[in-house]
């Protein structure tokens, strides 16, 4: 992957944290991050010895650490609050505890300090009851969507966000100039090279991953299927299907976008990169019992291939190449499978019911047909 100069220490921290996970495949991580094993082990040793400071290119002055009796407790609380104006008492208390403060004040005391300094916003209305669902391991499911676009000088910024369902780890927060398929695919290729491939991806029904024709598939989702990634879509008009990503978007708005104006995509991206590092490695997450997302995330062992794997079928399948209009021809029938599959090979697989077939693209079932019914 390309190392961005302005976030080189942050990316080294991400790389080292993955290498130090139990059963980490360090050589595979070195390949993805384009780092030699010698350098990787050197960074790991420096990180164990000096923490983040050990990942700097040049020695730097040791950062101030909260001392037991140096600064007043109130000043420590407000320092965290000023750095992160959208954080509440739980997150502030956890950060102070992680920083080494021995006597962290009670949550009510932290709230009172923030209120006394005039930094407490009115509490939002309590949401309705909900049931919490979570995938059991990292990379079982990634959620992807565009956050609402906003003005950016003479153009607009379309933030593309990708989130791991299990850990809430932000895999990408990209400032895009549009929402086209090529833009999304370019960013996905970068993410796949770095973090590997997920088992499944969840998206809404909008463009460029949703279609309004007879098929729910687009060229982008067909590409994901070729990579052996299952594609699922949220129910129409039910954004709660992607509840974790919706919550992530609210956090992004509160902690980055509110009251801010950016003059260019590069300026917005620099701020997204800075905040994403805080979100993944510093910001306690209430749904994770105040752990940080990085503590629960490990990269996928499924590496992004240099070339798309071939589509293969079994001896009992009936392969057909998809023609213009998204059509295939089988037993004097014209069957529509979707324009996104034009030029690809699909296969009809017989079921236990005579005349009934399942249409597969690779190992993914995309359609069911019944030749006993009227021609489609």
Residue 340: exposure state from Cβ atoms within 10 A (0-12, 13-18, ≥19)? buried
Judge if 159 and 210 occupy the same domain.
yes
Q: Which of 209, 207, 200, 174 is nearest to 302 (CA)?
A: 200
Distance in angstroms (rounded) separating the CA atoms of residues 332 and 281:
59
Please report the pLDDT score of residue 65 as a whole number: 45
Please report the pLDDT score of residue 6 as a whole number: 47
For residue 346, give its domain range: 318-370
Judge if 182 and 284 occupy the same domain.
yes
Judge if 112 and 201 occupy the same domain.
no
CA dihedral 165, 166, 171, 174 (to 10 degrees): 30
Judge contact between 332 and 322, C-beta under 8 A: no
Judge if 344 and 289 occupy the same domain.
no
Judge if 245 and 327 occupy the same domain.
no
Please report the pLDDT score of residue 58 as a whole number: 60
Max CA distance (Å), the chain: 85
Judge if 236 and 164 occupy the same domain.
yes
Q: Which of 359, 356, 354, 358 is nearest to 341 (CA)?
A: 359
Q: Which of 324, 336, 52 is nearest to 216 (CA)?
A: 336
With respect to residue 329, please indicate whether it lies within any of the assigned structural domains: yes
Please report the pLDDT score of residue 214 as a whole number: 57
Judge if 270 and 339 occupy the same domain.
no
Domains held by the chain: number: 4
Please report the pLDDT score of residue 328 as a whole number: 94
Judge if 157 and 270 occupy the same domain.
yes
* Mean pLDDT, the chain cut into blocks of 10 residues (376 residues total): 66 91 92 91 90 74 43 78 82 84 80 76 46 77 93 90 95 96 96 96 85 76 94 67 86 91 93 94 87 94 92 92 94 91 94 91 91 67
Judge if 274 and 206 occupy the same domain.
yes
Distance in angstroms (rounded) separating the CA atoms of residues 333 and 374:
10
Q: Are β-strands 142-146 and 333-336 bridged in parallel, bridged antiparallel, or unpaired? A: unpaired
Please report the pLDDT score of residue 76 as a whole number: 86
Judge if 336 and 282 occupy the same domain.
no
pTM of the model: 0.75
Q: DSSP H helical segments within the chain, as ranges?
A: 8-19, 26-33, 37-50, 73-83, 89-98, 107-116, 181-195, 219-226, 243-252, 265-281
Place of tokens 């209305």: 125
Q: What CATH number does the domain containing 292 carry?
A: 3.30.420.10
With respect to residue 263, please indicate whether it lies within any of the assigned structural domains: yes
Judge if 93 and 196 occupy the same domain.
no
Q: Which of 199, 144, 145, 134 is nearest to 167 (CA)?
A: 134
Judge if 228 and 339 occupy the same domain.
no
With respect to residue 301, please indicate whether it lies within any of the assigned structural domains: no
Please report the pLDDT score of residue 241 as a whole number: 60
């Amino acid at each position: 992957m390309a190392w961005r100069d302005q976030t080189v220490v942050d990316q080294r921290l991400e790389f080292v944290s993955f290498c130090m996970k139990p059963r980490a495949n360090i050589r595979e991580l070195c390949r993805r991050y384009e780092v030699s094993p010698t350098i990787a082990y050197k960074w790991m040793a420096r990180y164990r010895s000096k923490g983040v400071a050990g990942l700097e290119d040049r020695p730097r002055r040791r950062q101030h650490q909260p001392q037991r009796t140096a600064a007043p407790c109130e000043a420590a609380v407000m320092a965290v609050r000023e750095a992160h104006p959208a954080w509440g008492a739980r997150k502030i208390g956890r950060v102070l505890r992680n920083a080494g403060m021995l006597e962290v004040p009670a949550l009510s005391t932290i709230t009172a300090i923030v209120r006394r300094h005039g930094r407490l916003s009115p509490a939002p209305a309590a949401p309705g009851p909900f049931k919490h669902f979570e995938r059991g391991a990292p990379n079982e499911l990634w959620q992807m969507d565009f956050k609402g676009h906003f003005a950016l000088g003479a153009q607009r910024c379309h933030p593309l966000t990708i989130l791991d369902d299990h850990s809430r780890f932000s895999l990408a927060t990209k400032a895009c100039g549009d929402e086209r398929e090529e833009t999304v695919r370019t960013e996905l290729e970068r993410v796949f090279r770095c973090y590997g491939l997920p088992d499944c991806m969840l998206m809404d029904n909008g463009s460029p991953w949703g279609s309004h024709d007879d098929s729910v598939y687009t060229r982008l989702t067909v590409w994901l299927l070729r990579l052996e990634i299952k594609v699922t879509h949220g129910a129409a008009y039910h954004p709660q299907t992607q509840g974790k990503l919706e919550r992530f978007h609210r956090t992004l708005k509160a902690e980055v976008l509110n009251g801010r104006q950016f003059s260019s995509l590069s300026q917005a991206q620099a701020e997204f990169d800075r905040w994403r590092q805080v979100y993944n490695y510093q910001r306690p997450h209430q749904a994770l019992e105040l752990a940080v997302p990085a503590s629960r995330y490990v990269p996928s062992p499924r590496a992004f291939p240099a070339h798309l794997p071939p589509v293969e079928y079994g001896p009992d399948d009936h392969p057909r190449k998809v023609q213009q209009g998204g059509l295939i021809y089988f037993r004097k029938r014209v069957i529509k499978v979707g324009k996104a599959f034009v030029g690809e090979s699909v296969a009809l697989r017989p079921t236990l019911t005579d005349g009934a077939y399942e249409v597969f693209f690779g190992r993914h079932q995309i359609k069911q047909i019944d030749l006993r019914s009227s021609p489609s």
